[in-house]
Structures are given as C-alpha cells and as structure tokens.
Amino acid sequence: MLMRTDPFRELDRLTQQFLGDSGTWSRPAQMPLDACRVGDEYVISFDLPGVRPDAIDIDVERNMLTVRAERRPRHEGDDVKWELSERPLGVFSRQVMLSDTLDPEGISAAYDAGVLTLRIPIAEKAKPRRIAISHNGDRKEINA
C-alpha cells in the first residue's frame, strides 16, 4: 500500500503551472505518477519525457521513496534561435511513503519512452499464509 504524503501537491502543481515556475534543486517541481497493484507487487510509473536516464536519482530511506530528475536544456549549437519553448526545464521530484507491507530491498527500476517504472514487491510477512492448528492430536491448516 502506498500513502500520499502531501495533500496540497495538486494545488502546488496548478500554481507552478500558472506561474510558469520550473523546479530547482532546493525547490523541485512535481512529476506526475500512476500507481497500481499487479499481483504481488506495486507498480509506480513516473512521467519524465526528455530526461536522460543518468539524470534520474532514486533513493529509499526507511520507508520514504524519493525520485529526483533533471531536464536540462538541449544544446543544438550556437546558430539556433529558439522560437518557442514550452516544455518545462529544471528539477522534478516526488516522494512516496511506502507502507511496512512493501519490500524496499526488492525495488527494480526501468526507464523506457520517457516513463520511469518502479516495481516494489509485497513483503513476505504481508502475504497471506496458512497457519497450522492442532486439536486433540490432529493437525489442520487454515488461511490467515
């Protein structure tokens, strides 16, 4: 289970979009994400179009997952004169609190077509298991 950490994040996103505020390392802009459960793992996908894989940092400290990325300006050469530039540049960050039922040691990451996908397995201790019950010398298993 994932837990939202900032109830005002959507308001901040709209304010940044309206004011044209791009992120800096001290105050990064947010990146959109989708999260779902697939079988015995959670899958989180972050939109990071135009970000090079080496400009993405993923950290887990205790149960806090932090993804930071930087979209840098493209250098086309000295003779290029930009007519329009609407894609945001700068630093993007997102933090997600992971519940104790997830295994942060087993996180895997893949980056394809501008989407960073993290797969977080459910911890063995959180999976359903059978518990044996003994009764008058008989042994019977039930689901827990």
What is the distance, to the nearest Å, from the Cα of residue 127 to the centroid of all Cα atoms in its chain? 22
Q: Which domains does the chain have, with CATH numbers?
A: 2-143 (2.60.40.790)
pTM of the model: 0.68
| Of 129, 68, 144, 64, the residue nearest 102 (C-alpha) | 64
How far is residue 131's CA from residue 112's CA, in Å, rounded to a whole number? Answer: 42
pLDDT tens for the chain, 144 residues long, are 555 555 565 566 556 555 555 555 456 778 899 999 999 999 999 999 989 999 999 999 988 999 999 988 777 778 888 787 777 888 999 999 999 889 999 999 999 999 999 999 998 776 677 888 888 766 555 565
